[in-house]
Structures are given as C-alpha cells and as structure tokens.
Amino acid sequence: MHFRRFFLDKMRRLWLHHNPKDIIIFVITMIALIYVSGIIFSRGSEDDDHGTTGLSEVSKRPRFIVELGFNCSAIYDMEPVEVNKCLVARKKRYVGPTDKNFVNATFDCNRFVASKGYDAKQGSEFEREFPLAYTLVVHKNADLVERLLRAIYMSHNVYCIHYDLKSSDDFKSAMQGLALCLPNVFIASKLEWVQYAGISRLKADLNCLSDLLESEVKWKYVINLCGQDFPLRTNAQLVSDLKMLKGRNMVESQRPGGKEWRWRFQHVFKNRVFYNYQLPITTYWHKSPPPHNIEMFVGSAYFTVSREFVLFAQSSFARDFLLWSEDTYSPDEHFWATLVRVPGAPGEVLRTDPDITELQSKTRLVKWSYLEGILYPPCTGEHVRSVCVYGAAELSWLLNYGHWFANKVDPDIDPILIECLEENLLGKQVGSNKTLK
C-alpha cells in the first residue's frame, strides 16, 4: 500500500513538471525494482516452504517402539516375547528422512534447533567445567549422523565434521546445514578424498584435530567417531569417567603380532578388478625403519585423547612419523597406538606395559565375527565385513560392558536398538525412571 502511494505521488509530480524523459526513467526503474523484489520474495517463500517441508519430513522418522508397542526395559531384560517381536520388526523396512530432507530442514535454523531439542542441551555446571571435543568422519546417511550428533550434543562442547569429498552433494549440504544451525559445530577447514586403508583416513581426523585446537572452546579430551557409532553413556557419565583418567588417554595399543607387513613394505593405490575405487597394494619394496627409533604398536583408528596429547600429535616428531606412514597400510591403526607409547608423550603408556586390547580400551565396543563365542556372545544383528551391526537383543550387553560408544548401529538392520539407546540416554538426562541401567 505504501509503495503504491509513493508510485502515484511521484508520477503526479513528474507529470505536473511536464518532464516525459524523467517519467520514462522512473517507470523503468520501478519495473526493475518490482521484478527484483519479486525474486527476493519468491526466494524467501521458497526457502520458507523448503524449511517447513524439510522439518515435516525429518519429524516423520519412524518410531517403532511407539508404533509397534515395544518395551525397551523388557528387551533389556531379555524377555523372550519382546525379543522375538524385535526380529519381526526387522521385516518392516525402515524409511528415514533423506539427505535432501535435512538440507531443506536446515533452511530455518531456529525451527530446526527447537524441533530437535538442541537448544535444551545445556548440561550441568559439572559438565560445563569439563568441555569435550569430537571429530565425526562421515560420508553418507545424514539421518544417522544427525541422530549421533544429537545424542552427544551439548552447547558447551565443540564438534568438527569431516565429510568425504566423494560424498553426494545432498549429504555435503546436509552437513553444512547442521554446521550453519549449530554454533559449536563446524566443517573441517581441509577435506580429504578418503581412501580405504590409506593415509587420507588418518588425515581426516588430524585436520579436524588441528581445527579443534584453534577453537575458543578449551576442551579437555577429544573423541573421534564415525557415522555408525552411537553413545552408550551420557555426557555427564563420560565427563565423570574422563576425569578419572587424570590426563591419561584411552587408546588401544598392542604388539604388532603378524601385522609388520603393513609398514615393512611400501603400499601404492591401484584400481582393482570388480571395484570402482582404489585399494592399497602391497609392493616388494622395503621401507626404511620408522624415524626417531620409534617402536611400532597396533590398535584402532578410534581413540579418546587429552588436549595435551593432541598438541604432541602436531609436533615435528609426530609429523615425521606421519610422513613416514604415508605409504603404509592402514596407518590410522598404528599411528595412535604407537604415539601413545612414545617415551615422554602426554599420558604415556610405557613400552613395557601389557597390551591394551580393544576390550580394555573403553572408547568403542566392536564385535568381530571371528571372536564371537570366544570374547563375546554371538551377533544378533547382521555382519558387514566381519563386523557385527548390532541387534536389539544385544542391548543389555552393550549397556553393561562398560564402553562409551557402540559400533556398528544401523536402523536399516535393526531400528529398535537405536531407539532404545536414545530412550535410555534421554531418561538419564532428564532424571526419568525409564532408564535401563
């Protein structure tokens, strides 16, 4: 209405002054302004529609424990009827939000943050005095990544997301949307084209660690995760356990056994038949010994380490070791395990100390098919490349073993397990009596 009044008043003044040239210029200018404002209005409406639609689709995530009437406490107690119901539920196909849904949902950050409850995750004074950092090296399934992020999220912690440069455009945009909406979440400043068993996987974590050291958040410990991890403890429980470490690290570190070939020979990446990506090939070229007379140990790519240890991992000593490791096989599985044994390293584990196995290192609980029945009970989900993707019948075992994170989880294989883990965490955070342990 104000625009119309302005337009007519201006036209009347120009006409009274009998200046046709000025009238023509003014009309053309107004047409251009109307066109531009139309585009802006249209774009704003489009974004608003995207945000509303995206949030709607994201909120439609199936809730099987509600829809099918599951009782997580009964599953935890291994009641046969309830456990058998879980097997039946697996036949119902899980259809979660798409990557594009998350792209659209994060158009409106305020609504997204409120709808997901991120704004309510403030933590206690006890937790805020001991901030944590996380690296998330991910490559697909924004739905599962967001569930993981929300489960570990606290407003005072800090989170670095590294997505694979091979990831889909929608997945990358979804991760960027999460980082845009949450001020303490960011994308790694340097991204890698991650290759299986190559140095790029290790560099992805190192890139995030370098960025985290620049963060204003003075975190005490950092934990690295992948997209199929899920927490078994609340943030408060983690802080309590980490304080008890008193500067030590939680890293698997064992004698090499039969794995010396991984670094005694150079490895090169080549295309293999039946694969559409490159894999490391062992050559017959012997490598020189590791620098600085380093004694080699093996372990996991996943760790919980102190801020002081991360600073050590950025030192010239560690960089020499990293450079030497570039043409080894799966350097992420010996880099951390070896560094933690270096004399004088923060939180050092003595070279003469016994092996620290994956069951002793609390960071991550993994079931390998070839150790089932020996070290732990059989997998009740499905195996993917010798690793168990957990089923709901493992709920009690997971929560009682004492580890901090479970790997692997996947709602496509068993949606009930993740929902029960989410319910348990939420119950503990709000002081509910619905907790399982």
**Single-letter amino acid, residue 284:** Y
The answer to whether the CB of 167 falls within 8 A of the CB of 139 is yes
Other beta carbons within 10 Å of 140: 16
Q: By three-state DSSP, how is residue 432 classified? A: coil
To the query of whether residue 214 is one of the catalytic residues in this protein, the response is no
Pick out the chain residues at pLDDT < 50. 1-18, 32, 34-46
User: Model confidence over 17-71: pLDDT tens digits?
Assistant: 445 555 565 555 555 454 444 433 343 444 555 656 677 778 767 788 888 888 9
User: Model confidence over 314-340: pLDDT tens digits?
Assistant: 999 999 999 999 999 999 999 999 999
> Among 291, 290, 282, 300, which residue's Cα sits nearest to residue 202?
300
- Among 82, 192, 333, 423, the one annotated catalytic: 333
> How far is the C-alpha of 27 from the C-alpha of 326, rounded, in Å?
66
The answer to whether the CB of 398 falls within 8 A of the CB of 232 is yes
* pLDDT at position 48: 55
> How far is the C-alpha of 322 from the C-alpha of 156, rounded, in Å?
31
- Give percent helix, percent strand, percent coil of the chain, each to the nearest 5: 45, 15, 40
> How far is the C-alpha of 24 from the C-alpha of 186, rounded, in Å?
51
The secondary structure element, H or E, covering residue 380 is: none
